[in-house]
Amino acid sequence: MVKFLKQGIEQSAVDEADAEVRTLVEGILADVETRGDTALRELSQKFDDWNPADFRLTETEIEAAMSRVSRQDLEDVKYAQKQVREFAERQKACLLDLEVETMPGVVLGHKNIPVNSVGCYVPGGKYPMVASAHMSVVTAKVAEVPRIIAAAPPHDGGPHPAIVAAMHLGGADEILVLGGIQAVAAMALGSESVAPVDMLVGPGNMYVAEAKRQLYGRVGIDLFAGPTETLIIADETVDGEICAIDLLGQAEHGPTSPAVLLTTSEALAQDTLREVERQLDILPTAEIARTSWADYGAICVCDSDEEMVSEADKLAFEHVQVMTRDPEYFLQNMTNYGAMFLGPRTNVSYGDKVIGTNHTLPTKRAGRYTGGLWVGKFIKTHTYQRVLSDQASAELGEICSRLCMLEGFAGHAEQANVRVRRYGGRNVEPYSAVQPRGG
Domain assignments of the chain as residue spans, ordered by start: 18-92+112-222, 227-372, 389-438
The reported pLDDT for the residue numbered 11 is 78
- Report the 10 Å Cβ neighbour count for 318: 30
The reported pLDDT for the residue numbered 318 is 96
How far does Cα 198 stand from its chain's mean position?
15
From 210, 229, 275, 318, active-site residue: 318
pLDDT at 15 over 80: no
Specify the DSSP element, H or E, that contains 4. strand 3-6
The reported pLDDT for the residue numbered 166 is 98
Our answer to whether residue 318 is catalytic in this structure is yes
The reported pLDDT for the residue numbered 225 is 73
* Model confidence pLDDT, tens digit, residues 395-422: 999 999 999 999 999 999 999 999 999 9
Strand order across the 98-103 sheet: 98-103, 106-114, 379-387
From 319, 359, 395, 398, active-site residue: 319
The whole-number average pLDDT for the span 292-302 is: 96
Choose between 437 and 273: higher pLDDT. Answer: 273
Say if pTM beats, i.e. exceeds, 0.95.
Answer: no
Our answer to whether residue 275 is catalytic in this structure is no
The reported pLDDT for the residue numbered 439 is 63
* Model confidence pLDDT, tens digit, residues 338-395: 999 999 999 999 999 999 999 999 999 999 999 999 999 999 999 999 999 999 999 9
How far apart, in whole angstroms, are the C-alpha atoms of residue 244 and residue 347? 12
18-92+112-222: CATH number: 3.40.50.1980
Instruction: Give domain 227-372's CATH architecture.
Output: 3-Layer(aba) Sandwich (3.40)
The reported pLDDT for the residue numbered 14 is 72
What residues contact residue 304 under an 8 Å CB cut-off, 6+ apart?
Answer: 264
- Report the 10 Å Cβ neighbour count for 387: 18
**Amino acid at residue number 283:** L
* Residue 125 burial (10 A CB sphere; 0-12, 13-18, 19+): middle
The reported pLDDT for the residue numbered 128 is 87
Q: What are phi and psi of 172, to 5 degrees?
A: -65, 135
Do strands 3-6 and 297-301 pair parallel, antiparallel, or not at all (unpaired)? antiparallel
pLDDT at 329 over 80: yes
Where does residue 49 fall: left (phi above 0), alpha (psi -120 to 50 degrees), or beta otherwise? left
* Model confidence pLDDT, tens digit, residues 33-81: 999 999 999 999 999 999 999 999 999 999 999 999 999 999 999 999 9
Domain 18-92+112-222 matches domain 227-372 at the CATH topology level: yes
